[in-house]
């Protein structure tokens, strides 16, 4: 059915939202001094971030496979892209006020806005999406080695090119989700979605157990939740911190 929702897909996105919210709550507690954790270097946190972002992007790829199969038109696609891009700009503005030295200039929403366009344009690649995803990830992993051997690539470390991700020095920013390697994860999500729809459609279309319905609801409102959860949590933690003093 054109435009039909897939509850299992929404629930998977909802699970990513729950995990992200818990992660950000711990980050906020750390920022305001309630706990002491190293979010930049401790593998407990860095690997969680990698897994959360991967789950978001893989799910976005799955969703694009469904939209492509349902014949989603370009006008609806561009409306959604514009919503994501607009929210990305709001994230940049808000983070600049809170973290002026490390504001978010190309975080997860910025990355998703760009990757959605690329994935939409390459949806017809079929099984070639798998090696394309591997190449996208491999390029980012090989970037430090390439910089060490070819100094001419230093221009990729300059701010105008940070969005590509082919850097040898990670920019100082609170969130960084560049095109490479993360496009590879969304490509794999698209490829997996196309395969599932063709070979195992019930994996995506099957019903959810009633107790998981709330996850599907959260997944359907993922962008709204993403934009609101941090202002609400930061405000709450700031309020409790002020009262505790």
Asked whether residue 161 carries a pLDDT value surpassing 80, the answer given is yes
What are the residue ranges of helices labelled H in the chain?
7-31, 43-69, 74-98, 108-121, 129-149, 179-199, 201-205, 213-220, 222-244
Check residue 2 and give its pLDDT: 57
38-92: per-residue pLDDT in tens? Answer: 999 999 999 999 999 999 999 999 999 999 999 999 999 999 999 999 999 999 9
Check residue 184 and give its pLDDT: 99
The tokens for 127 are: 């099984």
What does the alpha-carbon distance between residue 108 and residue 231 come to, in Å, rounded to a whole number? 17
The tokens for 82 are: 């514009």
Q: Which residues contact 240 (CB under 8 A, 6 or more apart)?
A: none
What percentage of the chain carries pLDDT values higher than 90? 96
What does the alpha-carbon distance between residue 152 and residue 146 come to, in Å, rounded to a whole number? 10
Asked whether residue 137 carries a pLDDT value surpassing 70, the answer given is yes
pTM of the complete model: 0.95
Asked whether residue 176 carries a pLDDT value surpassing 90, the answer given is yes
| Average pLDDT of every residue of the chain | 96
187-224: per-residue pLDDT in tens? Answer: 999 999 999 999 999 999 999 999 999 999 999 999 99
The tokens for 73 are: 């038109």
Residue 245 pLDDT class (50, 70, 90 cuts): confident
């Amino acid at each position: 059915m054109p435009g039909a929702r897939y509850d299992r897909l929404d629930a998977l996105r909802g699970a990513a939202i729950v995990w992200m919210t818990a992660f950000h709550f711990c980050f906020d507690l750390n920022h305001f001094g309630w706990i002491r954790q190293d979010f930049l270097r401790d593998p407990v946190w860095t690997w969680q971030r990698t897994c959360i972002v991967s789950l978001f992007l893989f799910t976005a790829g799955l969703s694009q496979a469904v939209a492509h199969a349902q014949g989603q038109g370009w006008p609806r696609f561009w409306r959604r892209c514009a919503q994501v891009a607009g929210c990305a700009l709001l994230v940049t503005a808000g983070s600049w006020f809170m973290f002026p030295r490390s504001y978010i200039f190309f975080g997860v929403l910025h990355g998703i806005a760009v990757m959605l366009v690329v994935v939409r344009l390459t949806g017809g690649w079929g099984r070639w999406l798998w090696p394309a995803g591997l190449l996208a990830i491999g390029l980012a992993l090989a970037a430090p080695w390439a910089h060490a051997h070819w100094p001419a690539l230093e221009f990729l470390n300059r701010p105008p090119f940070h969005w590509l991700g082919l850097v040898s020095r990670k920019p100082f920013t609170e969130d960084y989700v560049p095109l490479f390697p993360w496009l590879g994860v969304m490509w794999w999500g698209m490829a997996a979605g196309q395969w599932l729809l063709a070979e195992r459609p019930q994996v995506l279309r099957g019903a959810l157990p009633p107790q998981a319905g709330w996850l599907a609801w959260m997944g359907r409102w993922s962008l709204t939740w993403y934009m609101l959860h941090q202002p609400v949590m930061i405000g709450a933690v700031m309020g409790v911190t002020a009262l505790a003093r």
